[in-house]
Amino acid sequence: MANTTIIQTEGLTKVYGMGDILVKALDGVDIHIEQGEFVAVMGPSGSGKSTLMNILGCLDRPTEGRYLLAGQDVSGLSNKQLAAIRNRQIGFVFQSFNLLSRTSAVGNVMLPLVYKRGAGAPPPAERHERAMAALEAVGLADRANHMPNEMSGGQRQRVAIARALVNNPVLIMADEPTGNLDTHTGHEIMKLLHDLHSRGGTIVMVTHEPDIAAQTQRTITMVDGKLADDGHGRRQ
Amino acid sequence: MTTATDILTAPSLPAAEAAGQAILDADGMIPAREILAIAWEGVVRNKIRSLLTMLGIIIGVAAVIIMIAISAGTEATIAEQIEGLGANLVFIQSSFMRGGPGGGNSVNLVYDDTAVVASVGGVVGTLVDQTTSLSVEAGSTTLTDIQIVGTTPDFPSVREVTIADGRFFNEKDLAQTAKVAVLGAGVAADLFGDADPISQQILIGTTKVTIIGVAAEKGAVGGVDFDAQIYVPITLVFDKFIPSQFARFVGNNVRMIYAQIDEDADMDTVIQQIEYKLAKSKGVTVEELPFTIQTQDDVIETRGAATEAFRNLLAWVAGVSLLVGGIGIMNIMLVSVTERTQEIGIRQSVGATSTDIRLQFLTEAVMLSLVGGLIGVIAGVGGAYIFGATSDMRTVIVPSSILLAFGSAAAVGVFFGFFPANKAAQLDPIEALRHE
């Protein structure tokens, strides 16, 4: 597999104004993540890891610095363009699953396809087919028409993973994916992420559980908005 | 065919790069069908609340349709009354009607003017009437409050009343103030049952008159029941049935002369001729002639103007209720946006743009209005029908009022849906996702 850079940030800085005080949530963060890497992001609360996740997931823009996603500078894109990037290149897995509660599993998985527009927008029949394939990939094809409230936490997270995969993203952002699950179910979800990784997926996962982080190849540690450890043994 | 294996295979990056700027293409709209499906889901999600939200619109739309149906019914009744007076009529009346007859020099519309009008070419009949209400006695049967219509011999032809038995009175009866009467079919049956009324005598008020004819059944036209009336020479009404003081006051002045015009004649020409001849007989110029001559259409229009003010008032009331309905939709949509913040965040995280979100909520508001409008149309049409069937008021459902009401409902939806939809579209995805 070619070694392609998926994430490259240079001096990533995020400043929030809180009244008269300016808070630097991120302070010059340089990160480099290659295709096929499985990276954990750790750090105490307030360390800036959530802010980093939001920017890497294109939910937010840096105040300063550059962010190249799969070679494309996304730090200055408009909200609309960021939405398109999220739609086509990023798949999210959240701690609280974030499924539409009144929509079936397959309906939830189809959601990113619904918002895919322009070239490559799949027609409805193909959408359903792809959503079913994604559900099959996470072992839930038989639950396609169940509502989220009819499913266990583990099953819901699987649906969320299927949703993250359905548009073939270049990057999976997982924010505490096992945080709401018991240990056993958490292991199952991790196994699924490992499976995904072994097939070449690039995954960035925020966690505060060291044993979960230890399952990844590399752990990035954030402290006070700075990169304390980039996981390559180098400290900034 | 996409398989599970394909899904789990990493995407080919070169392909993504080749897509280049296409990745950033977020300007296209997602298909309307998709927006509709999403919005519809939002509407049916909470049916009771949606129904309550629509209530204002339902009432507003139904009110518009019912109000317009009532005023259209009133106008139709007026038109029928005027048209029920006969076909192709012109109405000649003194412009000073309210002033009453004045001194010797003033020009009044008098009974003798009927002859002048009748002499105009194209006039095929003239009619003057004076109605009063009296009790009628025949043998042991007494009827009270019977309409006694004093009129002229052309009455049957102008008003399209057929004489079933006997004859109508003629010019000679009129000239002699003959004590004769023609009975409406209903009155004849009430007074005489199956017996032949011709040549029988009845007491109208205190005057004994002889029955010379019975009219065929005609029924009610424009609220006037022809079968419940008794027809006598107008001279007899002036002479016997109108209180003497009033008769002295009125003299031989008449309220109105009806002239029936030949179908083939040109109405305007005939009216000009009537004006000219009346002016000549009164010794004044046409400009000085203090009479108004109107066609049936003119009269319908004049009377219609009176109902218009009423209709405008009703329209305002209905409009206000539509407005209130719109505010109701806005309120519920605002609550809905707050409640569904997380849903909005989820949609944003998978690629929904602010335009997508705005359209979703706007469409939902319009959908609520339109479904409410549709229910309102059904309620309005049904309500107008029931109202017309069970009350004295007549209702005529006007198709354009349905379009108007429905269109207003849609406009209300767009107008009042815009603010909540905008609020939803401007949510920050991070905060929306965090919202519980």
CA B242 – CA A53 distance, rounded (Å): 100
State whether A70 and B6 contact (CB < 8 Å).
no
Among B349, B359, B360, the strongest candidate for a mutation testing the A interface, having the largest count of A CBs within 10 A, is B349
User: Across the interface, which of B24, B38, B429 has its CB nearest the CB of A84?
Assistant: B24
Pick the residue from chain B with its C-alpha nearest to A200: B10
3-state helix, strand, coil in chain A (%, to 5): 35, 25, 40
List the single residue in A84, A112, A129 with the smallest CB-CB distance to B2.
A129
Predicted confidence (pLDDT) per residue in A178-233, tens digit: 999 999 999 999 999 999 999 889 999 999 889 899 999 899 999 999 998 888 76
Beta bridge partners of B215: B163
Partner residue opposite B23 with nearest CB, options A59, A88, A99 = A88
Distances (CA, A) of A40 to B8, B335, B379: 20, 39, 62
- Most confident of the following: A8-12, A114-118, B297-301, B390-394: A8-12
What domains sit in chain A, N to C, each tagged with a CATH number? 5-100+151-229 (3.40.50.300)
Give the chain A residue nearest B45 (alpha carbons). A102
Residue extents of the structural domains in chain B: 31-78+304-434, 129-253
pLDDT band, residue A130 (cuts 50/70/90): very high
Say whether A134 and B22 touch across the interface (CB within 8 A): no
Contacts of B343 in chain A (CB under 8 A): 100
* Pair of tokens at residue B334: 């605002």
pLDDT of residue A64: 93
Residue in A7, A75, A79 to test binding to B, most B beta-carbons within 10 Å: A79
Q: Which of A38, A77, A117 to mutate to test the interface with B (most CBs of B within 10 A)?
A: A117
| Contact with chain B for residue A136, Cβ under 8 A | yes
Could you tell me the end-to-end alpha-carbon distance of chain B, in angstroms, rounded to an integer?
38
Contact state of A133 with B10 under an 8 Å Cβ cutoff = no
Q: What percent of chain A clears pLDDT 70, i.e. is strictly above it?
A: 97
Please give the residue of chain A at the shortest CA–CA distance from B356.
A115
pLDDT surpassing 90 at residue A152: yes
Minimal Cα–Cα distance from B425 to chain A, Å? 11
Mutation site for A-interface testing, chosen from B6, B12, B23 by largest number of A Cβ within 10 Å? B23
Residue A33: which H helix or E strand, with range? strand A32-34
Give how far A41 is from chain B: nearest CA, Å: 18
Per the document, the length of chain A is 236
Closest CA to A216 of A183, A190, A235: A190
Query: Residues B107, B113, B116, B117: is their CA dihedral positive or negative?
Result: positive
Q: Identify residues of B whose CB sits under 8 angstroms from chain A CBs.
A: 1-11, 13, 16-17, 19, 22-30, 34, 38, 41, 45, 342-343, 345-356, 429-430, 433
List the alpha helices (DSSP H) in B91-170.
113-118, 155-159
Residues A195, B354: C-beta atoms closer than 8 Å: no
What is the block-wise mean pLDDT of chain B (436 residues), using blocks of 10 residues? 54 44 65 85 87 89 88 85 82 64 60 86 87 87 89 89 91 90 92 89 90 90 85 86 62 81 88 89 85 85 79 81 87 91 94 92 91 93 91 87 87 91 94 86
pLDDT of residue B249: 56
Residues B315 and B64 sit within 8 Å (Cβ to Cβ): yes
DSSP A143-195: GTT--GGGS-HHHHHHHHHHHHHTT--SEEEEESTTTTS-HHHHHHHHHHHHH
Report CA B274 to chain centroid distance, whole Å: 33
Residue pairs between chains A and B whose CB atoms are closer than 8 Å: 141
- Chain A CB contacts of B19 under 8 Å are 88, 119-120
Give the pLDDT confidence of A62-111 residue by residue, as tens digits: 999 999 999 899 988 999 999 999 999 999 999 999 999 889 999 999 99
Q: Is the pLDDT of residue A51 over 80?
A: yes
CB contact under 8 A, B16 and A88: yes
User: Nearest by CB to B433, which of A98, A166, A202?
Assistant: A98
| Cβ–Cβ below 8 Å for B343 and A86 | no
In tens, the pLDDT along A53-62 reads 999 999 999 9
> Which residues of chain B neighbour A83 with C-beta distances below 8 Å?
26, 348, 351-354
Contact A83 B351 (CB under 8 A): yes
Which residue, among A75, A115, A116, would best test binding to B if mutated, counting the most B CBs under 10 Å from its CB?
Answer: A115
Of A79, A121, A134, the CB nearest to B7: A134
- Could A81 and B26 be called an inter-chain contact, meaning their C-beta atoms sit closer than 8 Å? yes
Smallest CA-to-CA distance from B149 within B259, B82, B225, B87 is with B225
Instruction: Report the alpha-carbon distance of residue B363 to residue B421 in Å, rounded.
Output: 9
In chain A, residues with a C-beta closer than 8 Å to the C-beta of B44 are none
